[in-house]
Amino acid sequence: MSALTVFVKQQAGKGMSLKEKVAAFKNLSAAEKAPLEKEAAENLEKRNAIRASLKKPASKFALFTKEHFPGEYEKAKQAHPGDRKAAFKAAIAAVAKAYKAQ
C-alpha cells in the first residue's frame, strides 16, 4: 500500500471525490505525510507476511522436475533438432518416467 492509499481510506465518507482527495494529499507537507508513509510500510510488511504464509511448499514431483528437467531437455533437443515442442514432450516424459521409477 502507498501513503496515498492510506490517506484515501482515512478520508472515506467525507464527501470528497477521488480527485479532491489526491489533490489534498499532494498539498500535505512532508511532516504530515510521514505517519501515512509509516503506516503504509507497516501494512506492506503485514501483506508480504500473509502472502508468504499462504504460499504452499513445492510438491516432490515439482522439485524432482526442477532438478532433472534441464538435463533431459538438452538431451531431447539433440534428439529432436529444430523441434522444441517434441523435445519438450520427450523431456517431460523422461522426467515423469524417472520419477515413477523411484
Kindly tell me if the per-residue pLDDT of 15 is higher than 90. no
This prediction's pTM: 0.52
Kindly tell me if the per-residue pLDDT of 90 is higher than 80. yes
C-alpha cell at 96: 515423469
Mean pLDDT across the stretch 19-39? 92
Q: What is the pLDDT of residues 50-78, one digit of tens each?
A: 998 898 888 999 999 999 999 999 999 99
Query: Which own/partner pairs from 40-43 qualify as long-range (CB within 8 Å, at least 24 positions apart)?
Result: 40/1, 40/2, 40/3, 40/5, 40/6, 43/1, 43/6
pLDDT of residue 44: 93
